[in-house]
Amino acid sequence: MNGANKMTLTRRDFLQRTAIAAGAVGLPCIIPSSALGRGGSVAPSERIVMGGIGMGGRGSYDLGWILTEPDVQWVAVCDPVKGRREAAKNVVDKKYGNTDCAAYSDMRQLLSERTDVDAVLIATGDRWHALASVLAMRAGKDVYCEKPACLTMAEGQMVVETARRYGRVYQTGAQRLSEANHVFAIEMARTGRLGKVHTVYADVRWRDGMRHDWLPAEPEPPKSEVDWDCWLGPCPWRPYNSAYVNGGGWYHFYDFATDVAMWGAHTVAQALAGLDMSDVDTIEFEYAGPDATMVTHLSNGVKLVLFRVPGSVWEPCEYWHGACGERFDGPEGWAAAADGYSRPDVSSPSLLREYRKVLAEYVARTQRPLNHVRDFLDCVRSRRPTVANPEVMYRSMIICLAADICEQLKRNLKFDLRKAEFIGDPQANRMRSRAMRPPYTF
């Protein structure tokens, strides 16, 4: 510098600044105890940093659930619908008392920019579940993904292969695998307390069929309000209609969903958890008519009944009352569980005498909590497989999706579980995948 712009430092200035600096050093450094992990809190360096993708009804529920875990730090949310992502951001910001939560309309931006994120919740519509999981795991994120985890067998296999290749932890949201009543029923079957199980029932609900048409076009909202192209994702292009976006209207359309797998993603996983599937090579599907109960036969002699509940899902039926039930039948009795139970249903009160013991043995053997989200977070830390890991997800989903194909073709089918293909039916095998709309592909 030169002339009038030159800055000079007098001796007095120097001494004054030195005194101020010395005083600052002498002041105590006040650090919140929460930042040090005291008082029951978790230090920031030990927290699992999370983001959420798909913040609608189920996503908002899961967000509230996961936010109760003290070792989670939520930093980002994503949804192509502005109102949903803003509502989710507000929930996170209120939790932490700041405005730091980032909001995205496109998950690809979140995944590429947020290198600080360890794990993501995926609670989009079903059409996005598999692709979003694969993209997240490729980006180095662990994944908690809602069910059904895939729309096709090919998608499910891609999730399995990606988790294995990238060493990611994955949990599908079949939360009843971690709930006490369902765990008890499963363990009663698995441990032989019912004798050799011969029949298993899984609630796949009653549906009015899948629609293969599409709704009439409505004016498309601004991209900032609803990113329609991103909302559709890998599905066929369809004109915008608000009924798809609001209130889950997509649920009944084949373009965006499945039939048996919609609820079988819960209950078939529950049913299989009580069986030894190591010696099962094939499964035969008996077509019984539109929306009818389907009987399937496993090659080990066990009969798996995909039960269609007539009327309201909450109406009593012969196997359980309530939603998402499963039941195991053996020569020594039966055990069943469903939503809304205070205790499982059993064929004899004597079977419930060991209720606490059965659960305690399960926890001791598996070292798993009876909390599905907690199991996921614990596995993120330990790197061991979750209770609803990719293989568990895939095995149950291919059975559900094979049943869907059986219903669509309206004929009996035989499926090779080892090869993941139908035996002697090229048409059925072509239905194991669907076309994905670019650029939303694997």
When divided into structural domains, the chain yields a total of: 2
Residue 316 has what pLDDT?
65
Q: How far is CA 166 from CA 43, 112, 120, 325, in A?
A: 27, 16, 15, 34
Residue 319: predicted pLDDT: 86
Residue type, 133: S
Is pLDDT at 27 greater than 50 in this prediction?
A: no
**Do 82 and 129 fall within a single domain?**
yes
Name residue, tokens 């109960």. Answer: 293
At 63 the pLDDT is 98
| Residue 208: per-residue pLDDT | 61
Q: Which residues are within 8 A (CB) of 385 and not within 5 positions of it... i.e. 6 or more apart?
A: 169, 379, 391
Q: How confident is the model at residue 323 (pLDDT cuts 50, 70, 90)?
A: confident
Contacts of 316 (CB under 8 A, 6+ apart): none
Residues 72 and 146 in one domain: yes
Residues 74 and 156 in one domain: yes
Question: E-strand spans in 243-366?
Answer: 282-286, 294-298, 303-307, 326-330, 333-337, 345-346
CB contact at 8 A, 88 and 52: yes
Measure Cα distances from 412 to 204, 267, 397 in Å.
Answer: 18, 22, 18
pLDDT of residue 24: 40
Q: Does residue 194 sit within a domain?
A: yes
**Average of pLDDT values for 359-372?**
98
Say if residues 146 and 159 touch (Cβ distance below 8 Å).
Answer: no
- 158, 440 contact by CB (below 8 A): no
181 shares a domain with 167: no
Domain co-membership, 195 together with 130: no
What six digits make up the tokens of 25?
A: 């050093």
DSSP 3-state assignment of 433? coil
Query: Is this model's pTM higher than 0.75 or not?
Result: yes
Looking at the fold, whether 121 and 186 belong to one and the same domain comes out as no
Task: Report whether pLDDT(7) > 50.
Answer: no
Boundary-marking domain end, from 172, 199, 219: 172
- For residues 155 and 191, state if they share a domain: no
Mean pLDDT, the chain, whole residue set: 90
User: Are 193 and 130 contained in the same domain?
Assistant: no
Same domain? 145 vs 203? no
355 alpha-carbon distance from chain centroid:
28
Q: If you average pLDDT over residues 310-331, what whole number do you get? A: 81
Residue 439 lies in a domain: no
Distance between CA 435 and CA 419 in Å, rounded?
A: 21
Say whether pLDDT at 290 is over 90. Answer: no
What's the pLDDT score for residue 311?
A: 61
pLDDT value of position 6: 38
pLDDT in tens, 147-183: 999 999 999 999 999 999 999 999 999 999 999 999 9
The contacts of residue 296 (CB under 8 Å, 6+ apart) are 283, 284, 285, 286, 303, 304, 305, 306, 399, 403
Q: Would 47 be classed as within a structural domain?
A: yes
pLDDT tens digits for range 59-113: 999 999 999 999 999 999 999 999 999 999 999 999 999 999 999 999 999 999 9
Whether 232 is covered by a domain: the verdict is: no
CATH number of the domain bearing residue 62: 3.40.50.720
Tell me the pLDDT tens digit for each residue of 378-425.
999 999 999 999 999 999 999 999 999 999 999 999 999 999 999 999
pLDDT score, position 317: 78
Domain assignment of residue 424, yes or no: yes
Domain boundary among 147, 172, 197: 172
Domain with residue 314: its CATH number is: 3.30.360.10
pLDDT at 332: 97
Could you tell me the two tokens for 191? Answer: 């441990």
Do 286 and 425 reside in the same domain of the chain? yes
Q: 377 lies in a domain?
A: yes
Q: Which of 127, 155, 172 is the last residue of a domain?
A: 172
The predicted pLDDT at position 370 comes to 98
Pairing assessment for the beta strands 294-298 and 282-286 based on DSSP bridges:
antiparallel
Under the banding of pLDDT at 50, 70 and 90, the label for residue 31 is very low
Residues 104 and 184 in one domain: no
- The verdict on residue 425 lying in a domain is yes
One domain for residues 263 and 136:
no
d(CA 172, CA 388): 5
> What proportion of the chain, given as a percentage, has pLDDT over 90?
80
List the domain range (segments joined by +) for residue 425.
Answer: 175-209+257-430
The pLDDT of residue 42 is above 90 = no
Q: Has residue 24 been placed in a domain?
A: no
Q: How confident is the model at residue 44 (pLDDT cuts 50, 70, 90)?
A: confident
pLDDT, tens digit (0-9, with 9 covering 90-100), for 247-274: 888 988 999 999 888 889 999 999 999 9
